[in-house]
Chains A and B, each alone.
Chain A
Amino acid sequence: MKDCEHWQEMMSCMIDGELDKAELEALKTHIAGCPECAALFEAFSSVSTELGKLEEPPESVAPRVMYAIRGKKKNPWVRILPLAACLAVAIFFGVRKTAPDIIHDSDSGYSATFSAAPETKPPDTERQAAANSGTESEDSATGSENLKTDEQGKEECKSAVTPPVQNIESAVKPSPTPALPAVTPDNAYTTAPESTAKPDSDDAGDGGTTVLMDAQQIAALIRMIGAPDNAPVPDIEAEPDYSLALISGGRIIDVEIYIIGDTVYVDMGGGLFTASCTADELREFISGAHK
């Protein structure tokens, strides 16, 4: 009601604690005799209470902010981490388009490869290499359709992965420790025979046998080893314990993972930093990825 407009504006001020004592008393008297204003006041109070409920952020932004402002070498994970959710979309594409025949677990819809260094090359190395190159993508229509189903994907992420997202996969190649089960593309999800892995060539794509790892696992792995941390890092001259290759649209991000004691160090080519997970957590994760 127009007549009450003045009082209603005062009610808003009252909610905000912006009335003096005299105004407050006058308003209370009005509200007591005006049901419409009383109802509105209740509504104002409820909304104010609801808006005042603060949510906890999923994670602190402090590490990323501090990394950025220190002006040191750019931590590539700062860029990669927000894309983790999108990787799931992209991974789905890549595998479906390039190597559908090695997907055993199609229920999840998301898949990727996860390779371990065997003593011998897998029987289908060439096919896998071709898949890695992302040159085979006959099923692009299917891919587009799938992307559209992820309406919640962030636009930036989509644009980052959409242009020819031909293949995204993760290949992890372990060095001597720990011994990982060797699996071939054909038994990726079904068998995981034990083998004693040994150091392979520098080429993770060519040397490793491959198992499938779903996108959730990829994202989890990135979170585990990706937390930016500016803790002091030692000089490491040893060979990396694991080599991880993230392949996206023909672009390869090489990651080397070192384990010193219980600490995991990660190098993405921009310098070494400490990962958030422990060595045992990483080993456990990798073992789990083979099951």
Chain B
Amino acid sequence: MTREFELEIIKSVLDGNIEAFESLVRAYEKTVYNLALRMTGSVEDAQDMTQETFIKAYRSLHTFRADSRFSVWVYRIASNVCRDFLRAKSRRAAVSLTVGEEGEECELEICDDSASVDRALTDSLTRDAMRRGLEALGEDQRQILLLREINGLSYDEIAATLELEIGTVKSRIFRARKKLCTFLLRDGNIPDEFASLHKEGGA
């Protein structure tokens, strides 16, 4: 769907053609659902969050400004809906690494055995492992990484969406990504020799 067409649809909806909104739902529900799925870790919750996202989007459509992509705007809503949901359920991740603006501590070790890393990831990146890894990131890191990886937002768009500096976006995504990789490697599905090397590295 081109941006121009999207804007036409939005105008049509705002002019009273409610039915036109359905094409926007269908265009973005898959990515919104996957964002919600990765955020909540539950198919049922993800569906509920997807539904809520679009209902909220419709109700606040008049506030949408054409200077950003509709998708970016919707993903922001989805992201907030999921965060609100998680907070309401007090289901925070077990480990929340608070990432500051600059240079905070982040104890992560990566083994230098690229074959092992690749094999470990290939073998163990199951959905469940990924879910646990994402949970371990904490909300802030999970949110920013998913906006990039699932929704494909650029750093500029993420910065605008989350009201952060570009440098902060870059730093947070890097730390989230690195921590997720480390978590997945530590998750018990890696070869013994690699695990021992990893342990020796002080992880």
Contact surface of A with B, Cβ cutoff 8 Å: 8-9, 12-13, 15-16, 18, 35-36, 38-40, 42-44, 46-48, 50-52, 54-62, 64-66, 68-70, 82, 85, 154-155
Q: Are B26 and A58 in contact (CB under 8 A)?
A: no
Q: Are A65 and B118 in contact (CB under 8 A)?
A: no
Using C-beta atoms within 8 Å of the partner chain, give the interface range for chain B. Answer: 35 or more
Q: Are A43 and B150 in contact (CB under 8 A)?
A: no
User: Which stretch, B1-9, B65-73, B179-187, touches the partner chain A?
Assistant: B179-187
CB within 8 Å: A-B pair count? 134
Q: Are A39 and B111 in contact (CB under 8 A)?
A: yes
Nearest opposing residue in chain B for A16, CB measure: B148
- How distant is the Cα of A228 from the Cα of B148 in the complex, in angstroms? 34
Q: Are A47 and B121 in contact (CB under 8 A)?
A: yes
Q: Are A35 and B112 in contact (CB under 8 A)?
A: yes
On chain B, the residues within 8 Å of A40 by CB distance are: 110, 117, 178, 181
Q: Are B25 and A47 in contact (CB under 8 A)?
A: no
Q: Are A66 and B21 in contact (CB under 8 A)?
A: yes
Q: Are B155 and A18 in contact (CB under 8 A)?
A: yes
- Extra A-B contacts (15), CB below 8 Å, given A47-B180, A57-B46: A13-B170, A39-B112, A40-B178, A46-B125, A50-B121, A51-B38, A51-B149, A52-B149, A55-B37, A57-B50, A60-B25, A64-B51, A69-B58, A154-B42, A154-B45
- How distant is the Cα of A251 from the Cα of B26 in the complex, in angstroms? 35
Q: Are B114 and A54 in contact (CB under 8 A)?
A: no
Q: Are B37 and A44 in contact (CB under 8 A)?
A: no
Q: Are A54 and B174 in contact (CB under 8 A)?
A: no
Nearest opposing residue in chain A for B148, CB measure: A16
Q: Mark B161-192, 1 if CB is under 8 A from A, else 0.
A: 00000000011011001101100110000000
- How distant is the Cα of A65 from the Cα of B121 in the complex, in angstroms? 38
Q: Are A47 and B177 in contact (CB under 8 A)?
A: yes
Q: Are A12 and B55 in contact (CB under 8 A)?
A: no
Q: Are B177 and A70 in contact (CB under 8 A)?
A: no
Q: Are A65 and B34 in contact (CB under 8 A)?
A: no
Nearest CB of chain B from residue A228's CB, rounded to whole Å: 11
